[in-house]
Amino acid sequence: MQEGDYTFQLTVTDSAGQQDTAQVTVIVQPENNKPPVADAGPEKELTLPIDRTTLDGSKSRDDQKIIENADSAVATVTGLEVGTYEFTLTVTDERRLESSDTVTVIVKEEKDQPPVAHVVSSPSIVLPVRTATLDGSHSTDDKGGVSYLWTREDSSPAAGDVLNNSDHQAVLFLGNLVEGKYSFTLTVTDSKGQSSSDRGTVEVKRDLVELVLEVSVSQVSHRQRDMLLRQVGVLLGVLDSDIIVREISFLKNFLTFIFLVQIFITVCQLNCSSHGECDSFTRRCVCHPFWMENFIRAQLGDTESNCEWSVLYVTIASFMIVVAVATLVWGMVCCCNRRKSKVRRSKSRYKILEADEQDSLELQPPRAARLKPVPAPTSSALMHSDSDLDSDDGQGGVPWTEQERGHLLRPQNGSLRNGQGPARPKKQREELL
């Protein structure tokens, strides 16, 4: 059925031929269709150099379905420039009902900070060294891609050359320098034309000392020359080995000495064990984090600064050495204590007192150190007869105990030397403490 009114008539007839009629009307109305809802997504903000974005309308909805470009809910926009863009999304369903939504895309120019120029000046050089460097590689920019330009200032000496076209590089190399102070300005420019400048200087000092003596050159001996150099070294406060004679000449019967007082190398060539950097001024290695100098090699070896040792390994090795030494000391102390305890141990010796000695028997007070051994009795004091052993009475009328009787009888089972009887133990009251 389609949209419209439909009337149906029902006729009922019985067996007698009587009938009756009734009608019913059916109204077909159009479906209850709601318009779609378009959703183009939230607003977007871009910053160059990003010049593209994606528009997503997949969240649009309808109670039936969207039939027009239903597979194109996502669109990509490219080549955007600085400005504000508005994009309208229109959604149409199968009943031709429409809905629209607008999304705004704002494209802004990138925030480019100007570069920062930074020049590391070279330390002063002394002739005859005629080369120097100015380092501008520490200059920074938030985007990178900067250009360098070195310019010599008007107050600098005219002599001196820029090597290898380095005036357009980060590091400026100079050669053929003369005595004086050179000043250069570094200009760093980024891709947006923003620039920054910094100034660096190189001072070249004259180190040749000329000494004129009013004496003929033929009258100066080698010994006198060495003495003169030694005196010059004392006046200048340098070692004799630091003075190098460059030339000895004469001018109208005058002797001229031209010599060097000091020579400095401007480039430090230490590799610092590949774990640090060499300071050109101090000639020492500046180690990276977690690395340290091998002081054994630096003090007793080739005396070169290095960065050979790892801080972690040195800490572990030091801890193990301390534990090993502590264990060794503890073991030695234990051994000493054990030996002392063995020396202090001693056995008590006993003897049988004679009858006449029992009356003068006195108990001696105990000593703090150890028991004093009693010398072995003579054979005459140890001779006993079988009747004495069989008798219940001991020496001097004192009865024998079972323990004393056993000590007296036990040695009789063995062998005895001629004239030596078995040893008789003392009673408790007869023991000498």
Q: What is the pLDDT of residue 71?
A: 58
pTM for the model stands at 0.33
Q: What is the mean pLDDT of residues 118-140?
A: 87
Equal fold, 1-111 vs 125-205: yes
Q: Give the helix/strand (H/E) hosting 329.
A: helix 311-344
Is pLDDT above 90 for 271? no
pLDDT band at 213 (very low <50, low <70, confident <90, very high): confident
- Poorest-pLDDT segment among 69-73, 74-78, 204-208, 407-411: 407-411
Condensed to tens digits (0 to 9), the pLDDT of residues 363-419 reads: 555 554 444 555 555 444 444 444 454 555 554 455 555 555 555 445 444 444 545
Of 2.40.10.480, 2.60.40.10, 2.40.110.10, 3.30.360.10, the CATH number of 1-111 is 2.60.40.10
CB-based contact 126:178 (threshold 8 Å): no
Domain boundaries, the chain: 1-111, 125-205, 208-260, 355-430
| Mean pLDDT in residue range 101-128 | 84
- Provide the pLDDT for residue 327: 94
Residue 135 is predicted with a pLDDT of 92
Predicted confidence band of residue 278 (pLDDT cuts 50, 70, 90): confident
pLDDT digits (tens, 9 = 90+) for 240-266: 777 777 777 766 655 555 555 554 445
Burial 412-432 (b: 16+ CB within 10 A, else e): eeeeeeeeebbbbbbbeebbb
Torsion of CA 385, 390, 395, 401, to 10 degrees: 140
Check residue 329 and give its pLDDT. Answer: 93
| pLDDT tens digits, 316-340 | 999 999 999 999 999 999 988 888 7
Summarised one tens digit per residue, pLDDT across range 145-154 is 789 999 999 9
Question: Rounded to a whole number, what is the distance in angstroms from the first to the last CA of the chain?
Answer: 136
Q: Which residue has the higher pLDDT, 119 or 46?
A: 119
What tens digit of pLDDT does each residue of 6-44 get?
A: 888 888 888 888 888 888 888 877 666 677 777 787 888
Q: 125-205 has which CATH code?
A: 2.60.40.10
Are 209 and 259 in contact by the 8 Å Cβ rule? The answer is: yes
